[in-house]
Amino acid sequence: MLLQNIFKMLDLNVIDDETNSKLQSRRMAIEKAGRFGAKVAAATLPVVLTMLPRIVKAQTQSAVDVLNYALTLEHLEASFYNIAIGNASNIANGIGAVTLDANAKRIVDLIAAHETAHVKLLRDALVAANALTAADPTVNTYDWTAKGNLGTDKGAAFADQATFLTVAQAFEDTGVRAYKGRAGELVGDMTYLPIALSIHSVEARHAAAIRMLRGQKGWVTGGTSTSNGTPAFTNGVYAASATSPGEDNTTQAGVDLKSLSALSTYSAGSLGEAFDEPLEPTTVLAIAGLFLK
Amino acid sequence: MNQDHLLEKQETDQDQSLVNLASRPISRKNFMLFSGATAVSAILLQSCSKDDDNTPASADVTLTNDDYGVLNYAYALEQLEAAFYTQVVATPYTGITASEKTMLTDIMYHEVAHVAFLKAALGTKAIGSLTPDFSSIDFTSKTSVLTTAQTFEDLGVSAYNGVAKHIKDANYLLAAGKIVSVEARHAAIIRETLNPNTAAFASAPTVATATGLDTLHTVPEVLAAAGKYIKNKITSNLPTT
């Protein structure tokens, strides 16, 4: 059921891209009207006025889609952490909590609380807007073997601390990329963009802490699972996709960082670490899909 | 660059600028220069001369109310961070461990890369190089350095998160997003280093417990906090909310 919702969202994305390009041209028209002289502006004004309600509506639809997408991912994370700390009977499916040492527990406990709060925040916002399409998870929603990649036991992701933290790193680093991948759809959104970004940076804090627990650097090191210390089946978390650069990218907004004199002595690795990369929904949902039944 | 040449150039505002401090590769020669008394005393001397009418003031800068203004706002904050970490790496605090030094050097690389990127992306729209005022920081003290680092990283995250809604171009928004999550990663690791074995990496009040949301700060709030560390007067025409 969740999967159906995800595919429904993918379809919506296609529609949204078209809506967005129309939106851009409308927005440009308004900006031009603002820049030109009063005479031109007066002539354009009626057109602008008739467009305004449509812009508001289009943005709201786009925001709703992004929020449902975010909620789907937050459900996965919240379920994962709540099972881990033994706080999820409705989704645990008989899987017990993972045994964590004190050093990991203090971090996992706080992350679990944050992810639970993210779910509530996003879900409440969508309910209030009468636009909730992301399904609530049940005991049958998730596949904690990652399609067998983690083993055959249904609780494989929670078998031990090391396995659990490896999956946690993959989830957090994916989450950071996922929010970035859709931020562009919220350009100029005064309400939901700040919320999405405030979740995004908290996911990055989580990612850094989990990585540190695993003996990794807090920042993403290179564009492969190997270079980030995770198993090969999570390579998509760090690699380039059809439409997103990999985490080893060193060209930002058309600027080739390696060509800048101030950075001439810098390694490509450092330049790649300095910028996190987005990931589009198709690839994010393919990664998340490993954990869906 | 030899030492005499550098000393000579330090007498101009431009060469004490954050960008120039930050963008100098840490060659062995520069490292020695920075780690000696010279660079530190130059900074301290300049701090003392802040109110001296005979000293030319650092150039005022203005942030325009458009995407260039937002990027310059980011550029100003990144200049501050880059200059700070460059100094931290050049004059490590007492008792620094090898892993702390590696971590702080990594962060320095990231911040200098952010500065260089924003400068290149802005081109002729870029504001000038800012002049730091680090007189309130004790670079020999781990607590002073890491507390300042935490302030800068959290401030940076809250600044990007707060100003992003005013960005009109999706490409610039994405660029800001690519930087802010790295700043958040820095913040978590710095917080962990300052307060190990606690929940400090993402604790309240910076991350609200009830919502799991990071802090947002407006442009005036951020500039008020950053002003203590920057000599230049920064005038903002960006939205105040």
Q: Using one digit for the tens of pLDDT, what is the confidence trace for A57-116?
A: 444 788 999 999 999 999 999 999 999 999 987 889 889 999 999 999 999 999 999 999
Mean pLDDT of B130-157: 98
AA letter at A92: A
Both tokens of A107, joined, read 């971090």
The kind and range of the H/E element at B235 are strand B234-236
Confidence (pLDDT) at A59: 47
Predicted local distance difference test score (pLDDT) of residue A89: 75
Contact A146, A290 (CB under 8 A): yes
- What's the confidence (pLDDT) of residue B15? 41
- pLDDT for A249: 98
H or E, element range at B222: helix B219-226
Residue B117's contacts (CB-CB under 8 Å, 6 or more residues apart) are A252, A253, A255, A257, A260, A274, A275, B175
Q: Say whether pLDDT at A20 is over 90.
A: no
> Which residue of A209, A219, A275 is in closest CB contact with B192?
A209
Mean pLDDT of chain A: 84
Q: Which of residues 72-91 of B touch A (CB under 8 A)?
A: none
**How many residues are present in chain A?**
293
Nearest to A199 among B114, B199, B213 (CB): B213
CB contact under 8 A, B210 and A117: yes
Answer for the pair B128, B201: CB distance below 8 angstroms, yes or no: no
Question: Which chain A positions have a beta carbon within 8 Å of B211's beta carbon?
Answer: 117-118, 121
Nearest to B181 among A113, A190, A201 (CB): A201
Three-state SS at B57: coil
Residue position matching structure tokens 């991948």? A181
What is the percent of chain A with per-residue pLDDT over 70, rounded to a whole number?
A: 80
Residues A171, A178: Cα–Cα separation, whole Å: 10
Instruction: Determine whether the interchain pair A274/B113 forms a contact, defined as Cβ–Cβ distance below 8 Å.
Output: yes
Residues composing chain B = 241
| Average pLDDT score over chain B | 83
Summarize the confidence of residues A25-51 as an average pLDDT: 37
The interface residues of chain A toward chain B in range 75-104, judged by CB-CB distance below 8 A, are 102-103
Kindly state the tokens that stand for B238: 């960006």
* Cα A225 from Cα A231, distance rounded (Å): 6
A-chain CB neighbours of B153 within 8 Å are none
| CA B35 to each of CA A262, B31, B92, B115: distance values in angstroms, whole numbers, following the listed order | 21, 6, 8, 23
Q: Which chain B residue lies closest to A114 (C-alpha atoms)?
A: B212
pLDDT tens digits, one per residue of A213-231:
999 999 999 999 999 999 9
Tell me the C-alpha to C-alpha distance, in Å, between residue A130 and each of A68, A125, A134, A169: 12, 9, 12, 33
- In the block, residue with structure tokens 């958040």: B184
Q: For residue B92, name the pLDDT band (cuts at 50, 70, 90).
A: very high
pLDDT value for A88: 81
Residue B19 pLDDT: 53
Contacts of B197 in chain A (CB under 8 A): 102-103, 106
CB distance A209–B168 less than 8 Å? Answer: no
The answer to whether the Cβ–Cβ distance between A201 and B214 falls below 8 Å is: yes
Q: Please give the helix or strand (H or E) that residue B234 lies within, else none.
A: strand B234-236
B168-172: Cβ within 8 A, 24+ apart? B168/A27, B168/A31, B168/A187, B168/A188, B168/B66, B168/B67, B169/A187, B169/B67, B170/A183, B170/A184, B170/A187, B171/A253, B172/A253, B172/B67, B172/B70, B172/B71
Torsion of CA A176, A180, A185, A187, to 10 degrees: 110
- pLDDT number for residue B16: 46
Which among B116, B165, B185 has the least Cβ separation from residue A188? B165
Given a cut of 70, is residue A50 above it in pLDDT?
no
Which of A192, A226, A204, A190 shows the shortest CA–CA distance to A121?
Answer: A192
* pLDDT given at position B84: 98
- Selected residue of A202, A221, A249, A259 to mutate for chain B interface (largest B Cβ count, 10 A): A202
Closest among B86, B127, B128, B132 to B227, alpha carbons compared: B132
pTM: 0.81
Q: How many CB pairs below 8 Å do chains A and B form together?
A: 205
Asked, as a colleague might, if the bond just before A46 is cis with ω within 30 of 0, I would say: no
Residue B230, classed as helix, strand or coil, is strand
What pLDDT, on the 0 to 100 scale, is given for residue A4?
Answer: 37
CA A144 – CA A123 distance, rounded (Å): 23
Query: Helices B170-194 & B98-122, crossing angle to 10 degrees?
Result: 160
Do the Cβ atoms of B214 and A110 come within 8 Å?
A: no
User: Which 31-70 residues of chain B touch chain A by CB within 8 A?
Assistant: none
Chain B: closest CA distance from residue A127 (Å): 16
Tell me: pLDDT of B32 over 50. no
Q: How near does any CA of chain A get to the CA of B218, in Å?
A: 11
A205–B214: do the CB atoms touch at under 8 Å? yes
**Amino acid at residue number B30:** N
DSSP string, chain A: -HHHHHHHHHHHHHHHHHHHHHHHHHHHHHHHHHHS-HHHHHHHHHHHHHHHHHHHHHHHHHHHHHHHHHHHHHHHHHHHHHHHTT--HHHHTTPPPPP--HHHHHHHHHHHHHHHHHHHHHHHHHHHTT---SPPP-TTTB-TTTTTTT-SSTTGGGSSHHHHHHHHHHHHHHHHHHHHHHHGGGTT-TTHHHHHHHHHHHHHHHHHHHHHHTT--SS--SSSTGGGT--GGGGGGTS--SSS--TT--EETTEEGGG-GGGTT--HHHHHHTS-----HHHHHHHHHTTB-
Sort out which chain A residues have CB atoms less than 8 A from B181's CB and list them: 176, 180, 200-201, 203-204, 276
User: Which B positions 174-233 lie with beta carbon below 8 A of chain A?
Assistant: 174-175, 177-189, 192, 197-199, 201-203, 207, 209-216
Please judge whether A218 and B110 are an interchain contact, meaning their C-beta atoms are less than 8 angstroms apart. no
Tell me: pLDDT of B127 over 80.
yes
Mean pLDDT of A150-163: 97
Average pLDDT over residues B170-183: 98
Q: Among residues B216, B215, B110, which one has the least CA distance to residue A219?
A: B110
Q: Which of 103-142 (A) contact B at CB < 8 A?
A: 103, 106-107, 109-111, 113-118, 121
Residues B46 and B218 sit within 8 Å (Cβ to Cβ): no
Tell me what ipTM this predicted complex has: 0.82
8 Å CB contact of B113 and A197: no
Shortest alpha-carbon distance between residue A266 and chain B (Å): 8
What is d(CA B68, CA B219) in angstroms, rounded to the nearest whole number?
Answer: 14
pLDDT for B100 beyond 50: yes
Kindly state the average pLDDT of the residues B56-75.
Answer: 92
The C-alpha of A77 sits at a distance from chain B's nearest C-alpha, in angstroms, of 13
- Tell me the range of A10-14, A263-267, B30-34, B52-56 where mean pLDDT is highest: A263-267
Higher-confidence residue of A157 and A56: namely: A157
| B21 interfacial to chain A (CB closer than 8 Å) | no
pLDDT at A235 over 50: yes
- A122-131, B10-19, B179-188, range with the lowest pLDDT: B10-19
- Write the CB contacts of B223 (distance below 8 Å, at least 6 apart in sequence): B234, B236
Q: Is A187 on the interface with B (CB under 8 A)?
A: yes
